[in-house]
Structure 1
Amino acid sequence: MQKIITTFLLVFSISLFSQEKVEDDFEGNGTISSWDADATTINASFANPFKTGINTSNTVLRYQDNGGQYANVKFDVPKNFDLSEKHTFSLKIYVPSSGITGNQTNQISLKLQNNKINAPWSTQSEIIKTISLNTWQTVTFDFKNDTYINLDSNSPIPTNRTDFNRVLLQVNGENNTDQVIAFIDDFLYDGTLPESNNNNTDINFDTLVWSDEFDGNGAIDAAKWHHQVIPIIGGTTWANGEIQHYTDRTDNSYQSNGTLKIVAKRENYTFNNVTKNFTSARLNSKYAFTYGKVEIRAKMPFGVGTFPALWMLGQNITETGGYFAATHGTTPWPDCGEIDIIEHWGDNQNFVQSALHNRSSFGGTINKGGRMIANASTEFHTYTLYWDANKMVFSVDDIVHYTYEPSPKNIQNWPYDAPQYLLFNVAMLPNVTSSFTESAMEIDYVRVYQTASLGINDNTLKDKNIKIFPNPVHNQLEIQFANLTDAYQGAIYDLTGKKVHSFNQQASKNSIDVSFLKDGFYVLNIQSGSFSKNFKIIKN
């Protein structure tokens, strides 16, 4: 189990060092960890078959296009490039004549894209360079001085842009259905990534407000989690054609060795007089919140038919068996809003996706984005949601793969200004293979962060002996002072920093009407004389 301080130091050191440069020598010394193939087969540690000329290194990247029309290889960076001063990329390439078929134009193109939009290619900028066969050569792409192509002619010149965060390499062009084998080495960007992370996250959600490190043994922490076992459709069926029963047994969910295991099993199990051939678990957090950052370090299960998800639903959902349904359920799905932090399908191994479901996009949703990652089911990865009043940003290991920011916002596309709770589950789909027996999703930790102004240990200010209650509050918030006789001023802010209410009171008057507030988290600021103090309040 990694502890918070260890994770902080690791992320801090990566931010200071490995993420500043963008380079890869394919000898294990590079900073690029997200090489990804699109209609190609790649091997980023392939023994150099042509140790000659300018390149006698031991390993290279092998690129094989078997005729895909848009074949390429790409990687993403955690911070956007700033090309205003440093604007050149370079690499070595070798294309053997024996590795190509047909009558091809021998060239390599480097494309810069924005992976935060639904169609990253639509605003790309590209440089194409001709290459020679049967020799190692260094190719440079200078986005200030070379001829470039903007796919959208209305796009600014590359050196005036700061939205590029994806590099894509394509050998012998698009619309080419012949085969290509190429070897690439010593990729280098001549600058460094900016110190600030320009990944469209504006609020510093830095205060841990809720977490589970799963350090226990046996059953899950019942104070934090609820087992949802009753099927939501007629008491017999789950959505998406899922074929499992969810149970509250430790066979299907338990803690050990510092992680939570949610285990999908092949077994006959009867519940509500219905027998199914698979079991698993579906957990609801007993904690709901509005806005913040969620970090989940997890490892996906194996097997065609497995469908794990780390996700969220509106606290107000009217869903059978859900933890909050009896006390807060007023709104059906999808109007309550759903946030899929990450989903994975066993028949599309290593592809992870984030999505939003709401009235404007559900069922065959269009609000989604994802990417291939290495070893989703054998190594832990950190899945992150950043959520404020304007947008949601989804990332894996600090690399953003999707941003949701509809404009203008309305109740149909943005029901996300009210509390949501977490759900962890592994579903089973009908395409499960006959050889499947069981597999687990493992979760190392889940952590929810909000702004520093929300972080307090209790609701008592010792020097003035102030108490606020009840908290959570419904209609009337009581403020009591033991050592104050002067007038005081107060204001209530939402998590975007917008003031939503202010008041002036005498110390003897201690009731504040908050019935007009929407459910969610707020900051209450109280001032009198020389002191000022913030309190976290929850309205429900």
Structure 2
Amino acid sequence: MLIATLIVACKPKEKKDSNKNQTSSEWKVDFLDNFDKFNSNNWQDQRIWVNNETHCYVPEGEFGTREVSQGTLKLKVVDTGKPSPCDNLDKNGKQHPETQYVAGRIVSKNKKEFIKGKWTARLKLGSNGEPSMFPAWWILGAQNNESPVQEEDENICWPLKGSGEIDIFEHHGDHQKDHFTAGAIKSLGECDKGDWWSLRKGFDVTLNEYHEYSVEWEGSDLVYRVDDKEIYRNVGEGDKYPEPMFAILNFAKITDSPMSGKEWVMEVDWVKHEYK
């Protein structure tokens, strides 16, 4: 997944070693955003064309696509009703065609990046199960070479080591209501070649109610939880992600199916990272 035209000041990566304080069994929080405001020290917009998405990612919450209010972040897909030019580019520099749909996507790239540990977000959807709907909460290796490229070491293509992907929550609205998938992307050893499905599994949950979705490193395993209850585990896959990783929250529209209303919403109460 990933690209953008937004360039911001570079910040040093926050690298937390998973071996730190291994004698303690308690998780310690080293990053928490309660979304009392949009904090540019934690996040930046990402404008990118991937996965043949049919919307345009817009900056600064245009059209209400990225809004922080009443203590939560709202990321939306919005139907503007009129096709307009889109400046999002794909990996090869091709520009997205005109579209009437706009969307929000934020990343903690070069803001908050951590090695291993535990990532959690508390979120809900305003609606679910509609064709084309594709909200996601995931993490990506910090050396990923897709825009915004802001540091010299951001030169590794997805999904090679340094640019690996772990999906904590993805809802594929075309498939089923109140259903999401989670799992790692298996690298096939070449740029842009990944196995999306062999390490992934689907789960039922009431998506329009708040739940905590997390992934944590437990030894060599990746453990996925909902409301702190283990639902799935990628056995032996954790060691394949030794790099600092950053967080991504986005709401995408992935096919040409029309929206039934004017907007879709993913509401995020908080995001945090912990270590032991």
TM-score, with structure 2 as normaliser: 0.77
Residue aligning to 1:319? 146
Aligned length: 231
Report if aligned partners of 1:389, 1:417 keep a CA contact under 8 Å in 2.
no
The 3-state SS of whatever aligns with 2:271 is: strand
RMSD: 2.2
- CA–CA distance in 1 between the matches of 2:74 and 2:194? 29
The Cα offsets for residues 299-343 of structure 1, whole Å up to 9 and x where unpaired, read as 02423211000001100111123xx55343121001121010111
Residues 290 and 315 (structure 1), Cα distance of their counterparts in 2 relative to 1, 3 Å cut: same
Shift, 1:215, TM fit: 1.4
Q: Which of 208, 233, 236 is the aligned partner of 1:403? A: 233
Q: Which has the larger radius of gyration?
A: 1
Residues 269 and 326 (structure 1), Cα distance of their counterparts in 2 relative to 1, 3 Å cut: farther
- CA–CA distance in 2 between the matches of 1:363 and 1:243? 23
The answer to whether 1:370 aligns with 2:223 is no
Shift, 1:290, TM fit: 0.6
The answer to whether 1:356 aligns with 2:184 is yes
Residues 444 and 417 (structure 1), Cα distance of their counterparts in 2 relative to 1, 3 Å cut: same
Residue aligning to 1:282? 105
Shift, 1:382, TM fit: 0.8
Shift, 1:249, TM fit: 2.9
Q: Which of 244, 252, 256 is the aligned partner of 2:55? A: 244
Shift, 1:415, TM fit: 3.2
Could you tell me which runs of 5 or more consecutive residues in structure 1 were left unpaired when the two chains were aligned.
1-201, 232-237, 452-540
Report if aligned partners of 2:121, 2:268 keep a CA contact under 8 Å in 1.
yes
TM-score, with structure 1 as normaliser: 0.41
Letter of the 1:337 counterpart: G
Residues 252 and 269 (structure 1), Cα distance of their counterparts in 2 relative to 1, 3 Å cut: farther
- CA–CA distance in 2 between the matches of 1:313 and 1:325? 15
Shift, 1:203, TM fit: 7.2
Deviating runs (4+, > 4 A) in structure 1? none
1:243-322 aligned within 5 A:
243-250=54-61, 251-267=64-80, 268-272=83-87, 274-285=97-108, 286-302=111-127, 303-321=130-148
Letter of the 2:85 counterpart: T
Letter of the 1:214 counterpart: F
- CA–CA distance in 1 between the matches of 2:259 and 2:107? 30
- CA–CA distance in 1 between the matches of 2:247 and 2:273? 10
1:230-241 aligned within 5 A:
231=48, 238-241=49-52
1:439-518 aligned within 5 A:
439-451=264-276
The Cα offsets for residues 446-505 of structure 1, whole Å up to 9 and x where unpaired, read as 111112xxxxxxxxxxxxxxxxxxxxxxxxxxxxxxxxxxxxxxxxxxxxxxxxxxxxxx
Residue aligning to 2:28? 207
- CA–CA distance in 2 between the matches of 1:319 and 1:304? 28
Shift, 1:381, TM fit: 0.7
Q: Which of 208, 211, 222 is the aligned partner of 2:40? A: 222
Residue aligning to 1:538? none
Shift, 1:204, TM fit: 3.0
- CA–CA distance in 2 between the matches of 1:404 and 1:203? 24
Shift, 1:358, TM fit: 3.3
Could you tell me which runs of 5 or more consecutive residues in structure 2 were left unpaired when the two chains were aligned.
1-22, 88-94
- CA–CA distance in 2 between the matches of 1:241 and 1:279? 14
The Cα offsets for residues 111-151 of structure 1, whole Å up to 9 and x where unpaired, read as xxxxxxxxxxxxxxxxxxxxxxxxxxxxxxxxxxxxxxxxx
Q: Which of 170, 175, 185 is the aligned partner of 1:343? A: 170
Letter of the 1:427 counterpart: A
- CA–CA distance in 2 between the matches of 1:353 and 1:203? 31
Residues 294 and 390 (structure 1), Cα distance of their counterparts in 2 relative to 1, 3 Å cut: same
1:37-116 aligned within 5 A:
none
- CA–CA distance in 2 between the matches of 1:394 and 1:319? 26
The Cα offsets for residues 329-377 of structure 1, whole Å up to 9 and x where unpaired, read as 121001121010111122321111112113148244211123111x20x
